[in-house]
């Protein structure tokens, strides 16, 4: 029986918002693993704002996805064939398998995921790159101290929701900025944030005066744009601004810089960019800490799992930019137990 | 004999560029020092881009100059009467004496200047706040290492010209950005910069590709605007951007933020604001080092001394924003030896 691999490839570099014509839906036969390779059936895809940047040409923190190439994506899956000594059929694994149903891998940067310890989708969120981004960005760059005020934007998103919860664990006052009343309620009622600001209906600057009366010591920015500008005006002396993303700007053909950046001078503050990949040699430390907090019930995993398979990828990505997700946006590609698995056991 | 004190006071808060009507020229009799006070005759005034910010209302790193108040300015002068135990008639002193001919002071934040060691105007430049700003901003925030590339904007200005020379002393490759061929020639031929970029006639981004082929490790920014945006695109991994000023934006009613700030993320770089006043307890260290380098001929003092007295202050300030100065812009208020001095000796 020949398995068919459905893929989504980059057809053209988008200008502004990605359109249907920027994607190519391709079918090809699934290959057999060669020596040292494993074949992974993809179960869940991680949908990330950073994907928009990967589609652009030009130097960035990671090479661009080439036109014609399978779209890059983090994923969890199940090993269905292996000629790699480190992986056996039936293992659950996490890696950059791409927007496709099957992936041949040489095992590099592939880690195992234990479905008994957490749902597989959580290995893309709290126990995956999103959680690690929150952990290292907040702890290493933000360096919050107990009693300080931490503000996070995109607070109901995959990274932001973890940032806020970690800051609470560390003894900080936490204010989340998110879009919509439902998200804001979730932050305060479910995740224990001290306050939430709805940027769609509130004056962020005014709301920060109320919720961060002593100024903002750490600002973890996922959105850029007007929200960043508003928070800059409320920085405390010596504040740390962590630049993790700028989802409000990714589809803009004329991105807007923070007009209030001179607040960095007024407040002797620092703005620092972070990329989680730099912490690869400390991932184990981060995952262990996140898993411990999670096991103790101190860190809730917020996941928004969408079905539809790889064909639904383009539309699912747009949901991120429309701010429709609550927590980690995950696209389900296949049921965990599929009938074909039997033959490979 | 009653001495008359000519002063320039803030008449109105400017919108955009300061206009003549924003200033009030006032004459008043010079007072007598009370107990613990000294009377200073102002000889030289420091003309600084930061003055524009002091004229605005609102929270900043220093309280605004109030409407009706004598305009704040650093100055050097000569003590002509004293009832302060620390200062004697004939002492030369440096302090924030303001845009006026005479200043009564309680001696706080007043330091002595030795005219035998350096020209008095130098105590406003290389051996004053400009030199200290360059020293602490570069060494403490920029943290350049030998062999790294340091770029400085406003490079022919009071702070920039010292930044570049210190970076050379520290063994860095130094590229200055300035306006006009004459300034650029001065940087390379007189001050020993490795290269200079004329932002008025050159494409800064392209020129940086040539002059900073391995990227920019430290960027010391005095100007903001398009130049900041161009340098951001050339940052090296882990670069430090020192935000010292934004002279291109100070008169703008709609200041422009750095659209390319996401380069901080791509390059894991940091942008930090600095205010020299924070280093008050280390001024002695800075001055000692600057004076040593100066005495050894390793640090040249670039001064642009304008005559005209306090009445010329408004026009002299505008020279800064038009980029007409070479090095430290200083307004001469009086001859060092004036006839009246005799009576106070």
Burial of B188 (0-12, 13-18, 19+ CB in 10 A): middle
Task: Give the model's pLDDT for residue B2.
Answer: 81
Q: What is the mean pLDDT of residues B174-185?
A: 97
* H helix or E strand, kind and range, residue A187: helix A181-189
pLDDT higher than threshold 50 for residue B338: no
Residue A238, chain B, CB below 8 Å: the answer is: no
Closest approach of A181 to chain B, Cα-based (Å): 29
pLDDT higher than threshold 80 for residue A341: no
pLDDT tens readout for residues B72-100 = 999 999 999 999 999 999 999 999 999 99
A247 or B242, which is more confident: B242
Q: What is the mean pLDDT of residues A108-122?
A: 95
Share of chain A above pLDDT 90, in %: 92
pLDDT higher than threshold 60 for residue B343: no
> Scanning every residue of chain A, which has its alpha carbon at the shortest distance from the alpha carbon of B272?
A270
Closest approach of A263 to chain B, Cα-based (Å): 8
Task: Give the model's pLDDT for residue B169.
Answer: 98
Task: Give the model's pLDDT for residue B142.
Answer: 98
* H helix or E strand, kind and range, residue A105: strand A102-105
Nearest to B273 among A244, A249, A267 (CB): A267
In whole angstroms, what is the distance from residue A96 CA to residue A89 CA?
A: 18
pLDDT tens readout for residues B199-215 = 999 999 999 999 999 99
- Going by pLDDT thresholds of 50, 70 and 90, the confidence category of residue B259 is very high
B257 and A255 within 8 Å at the Cβ level: the answer is no
Task: Give the model's pLDDT for residue A1.
Answer: 64
Task: Give the model's pLDDT for residue A343.
Answer: 40
Return all residues near B13 (Cβ < 8 A) that are at least 6 apart: B22, B55, B56, B57, B67
Nearest to A266 among B262, B267, B273 (CB): B273
> Scanning every residue of chain A, which has its alpha carbon at the shortest distance from the alpha carbon of B232?
A257
Could you give the ipTM of this predicted complex? Answer: 0.91
The structural domains of chain A, with segments of one domain joined by +, span: 4-125+302-344, 129-278
Q: What is the mean pLDDT of residues A144-170?
A: 98
pLDDT tens readout for residues B228-253 = 999 999 999 999 999 999 999 988 88
- The answer to whether residues B148 and B173 touch, using CB atoms and an 8 Å cutoff, is yes
Task: Give the model's pLDDT for residue B345.
Answer: 35
In whole angstroms, what is the distance from residue B27 CA to residue B7 CA?
A: 6
Closest approach of B237 to chain A, Cα-based (Å): 10
Q: What is the mean pLDDT of residues B121-131?
A: 97
Task: Give the model's pLDDT for residue A96.
Answer: 96
Architecture label for domain A129-278:
3-Layer(aba) Sandwich (3.40)
- Going by pLDDT thresholds of 50, 70 and 90, the confidence category of residue A28 is very high
B262 and A246 within 8 Å at the Cβ level: the answer is yes
Return all residues near A23 (Cβ < 8 A) that are at least 6 apart: A8, A9, A10, A11, A71, A313, A314
Nearest to A272 among B243, B260, B264 (CB): B264
Task: Give the model's pLDDT for residue B47.
Answer: 97
Share of chain B above pLDDT 90, in %: 92
Task: Give the model's pLDDT for residue B213.
Answer: 97
> Scanning every residue of chain A, which has its alpha carbon at the shortest distance from the alpha carbon of B271?
A271
CATH dotted code for A4-125+302-344? 3.90.180.10
Residue A1, chain B, CB below 8 Å: the answer is: no
Q: Which residue reads 């280093």 in tokens?
A: B279
Architecture label for domain B4-124+302-344:
Alpha-Beta Complex (3.90)
Residue B257, chain A, CB below 8 Å: the answer is: yes
- Going by pLDDT thresholds of 50, 70 and 90, the confidence category of residue A260 is very high
**Three-class secondary structure of residue B305 per DSSP:** strand
């Amino acid at each position: 029986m020949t398995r068919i691999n459905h893929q989504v490839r980059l057809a053209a570099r988008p200008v502004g918002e990605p359109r249907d014509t920027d994607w190519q839906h391709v079918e090809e036969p699934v290959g057999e693993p060669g020596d040292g390779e494993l074949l992974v059936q993809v179960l869940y895809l991680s949908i990330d704002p950073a994907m928009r940047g990967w589609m652009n040409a030009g130097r960035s923190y990671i090479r661009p996805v080439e036109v014609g190439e399978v779209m890059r994506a983090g994923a969890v899956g199940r090993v269905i064939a292996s000629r790699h000594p480190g992986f056996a059929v039936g293992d659950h694994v996490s890696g950059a398998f791409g927007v496709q149903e099957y992936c041949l891998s040489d095992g590099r940067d592939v880690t195992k995921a234990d479905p008994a310890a957490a749902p597989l989708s959580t290995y893309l969120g709290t126990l995956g790159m999103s959680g690690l981004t929150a952990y290292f960005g907040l702890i290493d760059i933000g360096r919050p101290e107990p009693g300080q005020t931490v503000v996070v934007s995109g607070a109901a998103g995959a990274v932001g929701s973890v940032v806020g919860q970690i800051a609470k664990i560390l003894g900080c006052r936490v204010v989340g900025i998110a879009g919509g009343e439902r998200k804001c309620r979730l932050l305060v009622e479910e995740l224990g944030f001290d306050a939430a600001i709805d940027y769609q209906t509130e004056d962020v600057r005014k709301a920060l005066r109320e919720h961060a009366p002593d100024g903002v010591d750490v600002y973890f920015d996922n959105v850029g744009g007007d929200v960043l500008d508003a928070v800059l005006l409320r920085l405390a002396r010596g504040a740390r601004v962590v630049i993790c993303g700028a989802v409000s700007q990714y589809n803009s053909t004329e991105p807007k810089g923070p007009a209030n950046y001179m607040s960095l001078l007024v407040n002797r503050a620092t703005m620092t960019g972070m990329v989680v990949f730099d912490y690869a040699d400390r991932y184990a430390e981060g995952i262990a800490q996140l898993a411990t907090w999670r096991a103790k019930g101190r860190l809730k995993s917020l996941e928004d799992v969408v079905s539809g398979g790889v064909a639904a990828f383009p539309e699912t990505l747009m949901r991120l930019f429309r701010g429709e997700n609550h927590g980690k946006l995950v696209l389900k590609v296949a049921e965990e137990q599929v009938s074909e698995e039997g033959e490979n056991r």
